[in-house]
Structure 1
Amino acid sequence: MKAVVLHEIGKGGPDGLRYEDAPTPEPGPGEVVVKLRAAALNRRDVFVTYGMYPGAKPDALPVIPGSDGSGEVHAVGEGVSEPEVGVEVVINPALEWGDDIRISGKNYRILGLPEDGTYAEYVKVPADHVYPKPRHLTHEEAAALPLAALTAYRALVTRGEVESGQTVVVPGIGGGVATFLVQIASTLGARVFVTSGSDGKIEKAKELGAEGGVNYKSEGWQKELRSMTGPVDLSVDSIGGEVFDALLSVAKPGGRIVTFGATAGPVPKLVMPKIFLKQLDVLGTAMGSAPEFADMLKLYEEHDLRPVINERFRLEEAAQAMRHMEEGMGMGKIILDIA
């Protein structure tokens, strides 16, 4: 088969990828091999190429990156009765989460490192980690869902306990998870507000269900946000840095902030009284469990939701696709068309 293989980790990042021939995987007991039609990029994939992700070390190479994928079952291993060969599926990349929905277990890991991932024509996964593809979605749309939509669903529903009528803030609209946060929160009846450095992205967020947004490049944006939203029930943050302090300021007493990233780095001046005097809950989250993955797919199917696609590339253009992600251009998920 053809695959994109990471051979070097370091300053070159995506330059360490090679499009080449690789052995087609064979399913073991309890496993299936999926013939992939599409894969999707995540920030995790880029971080892996730079060695900026746990386990991304030279001794882990070579490895095929990629967590997200959709296709059809090509072969099944011993003991697998479902799904059958030919069934269209989407992959849950959260391997061995464990039995406790609150936290991942000691064997938890994400497809694409250490196991070979979805930047390939075929991928091998446990049979219980493939789910029927939502019928209304193309393979490209289905491939966009797994990692990002699962992260968003858990952050909002399980950790954030969002309810209809509540006010939700999503800073940094544009990336995959943020677009899913807007879609899911608005679908569940929340009032959603966003921030972005692009007025165009704010307008796109409104098309997804956001009520409004502010440009964080404008002077006094924090005050403008506070005026627009009123007291905020829930913020879901992947930015960190100074943005986190702004979210503390707009939070209502007893409000919640769910965090799953810190692309802007550490919070420079964390004002602790904003947390304890307002009785705030600050909650961490990452990825999600199998039941949450199934519930996320059900939500997208029942409400006929479609993910936002930013740009499409061919499989052999994976390095170019990663550079596009690094530039932060466009909005939504970046897709690799495989077959």
Structure 2
Amino acid sequence: MKAIFYEEHGSTDVLQYGEFPDPEIDSEEVLVDIKAGGLNHLDVWTRKGMPSPEELPHIPGSDGAGVVSEVGEDVTRFEEGDRVVVDPNLFCGKCEFCRKGETSLCVDFKMIGEHVRGVHSEQTALHEDNLIPLPEDVDFVKAASAPLVFQTAWRMLVTRADIQQNDSVLVHGASGGVGHAAVQIAANEGCEVFATASSQEKLDYASDIGADHLINYEEVDFNDEIKEMTDGRGVDVVVDHIGEATWDGSLSVAARGGTIVTCGATSGISPETNIPKVFWKQLDILGSTMGTPGEMDDVMAKVFDGTFEPHVREVLPMSEIERGHEILEGREGFGSVVVVPDSEYDPDSYE
């Protein structure tokens, strides 16, 4: 089969698209013909070795959608010809957190595409528990763009921050994968949404998907803008997946008793923290990673029924994977980037 892979860590020039050994399934696994795969910043970090996957050469890709072509003898949930979406979370099923249903806190938590080989290939072998049925009326590109970012944003806002109707929510980087999912989720819950982005085009898109207040952080200080917009109060919840570049400002704009919830740090992982801001304002700082199977089902049901609309900024053949990484690193456009096996790629279908 053809696959995206790399044999060493580094810049985009380590990425290859070529022949790779065909996967083999065991009794509880399913062979999936991948029709589309979603790119995430996770793929960029892993390519750079942060973290390093368990085995090289490594096939990246946590998000994918396709058609079942073979099932193991003990598989009960799927048959050949079924349309499926990948759930990239891997849990031990045995630790105290898994027993309590908090699988995203599993002590041996791993992710397909990060720790183990991913799904950006013509075929992939996965345990049946890592697949979700895909309705016939949802196309593969849309489905492949959604799982990681929407379940991440859902857990951040609905589970961890427990947002309520009329809460004020600031979403940093509202045009990116997690950002555009967070804007839609907060708006759907009846929150007042503040969105930051780096251009008017991105802010217009954020407005289209539910943002109430728009801030171009390249032109103004978001800290000053939000304090002015809220008469100095600040916001109830801050979604910060940026890190060093926004962290101190996030602490500043959070209202007294407010919450900052984070799932990543694309601008740097070691910001300085003004501790008096935390205790004097009695802030809650919450970490969040991915989601449980139940959370995944809940948010993907809303993607499938059209409540949430993943935006795909570009669809590329897998052989142009370097370009895909460049789009993510350069923060070009808004929404997700999706790759399609060259054998399946039809540019006229993605306009």
The Cα of 1:220 is off from its aligned counterpart by: 4.1
Q: Residue 309 and residue 192 in structure 1: after superposition, are their counterparts in 2 closer, same or farther (change >3 A)?
A: same
Q: Residue 4 and residue 252 in structure 1: after superposition, are their counterparts in 2 closer, same or farther (change >3 A)?
A: same
Structure 1 segment 296-335 matched on structure 2, within 5 A: 296-335=299-338
The Cα of 1:15 is off from its aligned counterpart by: 1.2
Match of 2:276 in 1: 273
**1:91–1:146 contact (8 Å) kept in structure 2:** yes
CA–CA separation in structure 2 for the residues paired with 1:135 and 1:245: 46
Match of 1:213 in 2: 214
1:238 is the counterpart of 2:236: no
Q: Residue 282 and residue 231 in structure 1: after superposition, are their counterparts in 2 closer, same or farther (change >3 A)?
A: same
Residue 268 of structure 2 aligns with an amino acid whose one-letter code is: G
Match of 1:156 in 2: 157
CA–CA separation in structure 2 for the residues paired with 1:335 and 1:21: 20
Tell me the SS of whatever aligns to 2:175: coil
Q: Residue 21 and residue 139 in structure 1: after superposition, are their counterparts in 2 closer, same or farther (change >3 A)?
A: same
Gaps of 5+ in 1: none
Match of 1:82 in 2: 77
**1:233–1:252 contact (8 Å) kept in structure 2:** yes
1:260 corresponds to which of 258, 263, 283: 263
Structure 1 segment 125-274 matched on structure 2, within 5 A: 125-229=126-230, 230-266=233-269, 268-274=271-277
Residue 209 of structure 1 aligns with an amino acid whose one-letter code is: G
Moved more, 175-184 or 267-276: 267-276
The Cα of 1:61 is off from its aligned counterpart by: 0.7
CA–CA separation in structure 1 for the residues paired with 2:224 and 2:117: 46
CA–CA separation in structure 2 for the residues paired with 1:154 and 1:171: 16
CA–CA separation in structure 1 for the residues paired with 2:74 and 2:221: 61
CA–CA separation in structure 2 for the residues paired with 1:268 and 1:92: 31
CA–CA separation in structure 1 for the residues paired with 2:51 and 2:81: 35
Please give the per-residue CA displacement for 1:265-307, whole angstroms capped at 9, x wherever unaligned.
Answer: 2565422222112211100111122111111112223454220
Q: Residue 268 and residue 320 in structure 1: after superposition, are their counterparts in 2 closer, same or farther (change >3 A)?
A: closer
Match of 2:17 in 1: 19
Please give the per-residue CA displacement for 1:178-215, whole angstroms capped at 9, x wherever unaligned.
Answer: 11111111112111111122121111100010001111
CA–CA separation in structure 2 for the residues paired with 1:219 and 1:55: 37
Tell me the SS of whatever aligns to 2:105: coil
Residue 233 of structure 1 aligns with an amino acid whose one-letter code is: D
**1:90–1:142 contact (8 Å) kept in structure 2:** yes
TM-score of the aligned structures, taking structure 2 as reference length? 0.90
Gaps of 5+ in 2: 345-351
**1:97–1:290 contact (8 Å) kept in structure 2:** no
**1:135–1:301 contact (8 Å) kept in structure 2:** no
CA–CA separation in structure 2 for the residues paired with 1:28 and 1:248: 49
**1:259–1:285 contact (8 Å) kept in structure 2:** yes
Match of 2:6 in 1: 6
Q: Residue 135 and residue 235 in structure 1: after superposition, are their counterparts in 2 closer, same or farther (change >3 A)?
A: farther
Cα root mean square deviation, aligned? 1.8
**1:134–1:297 contact (8 Å) kept in structure 2:** no
How many residue pairs get matched?
A: 334
The Cα of 1:24 is off from its aligned counterpart by: 2.1
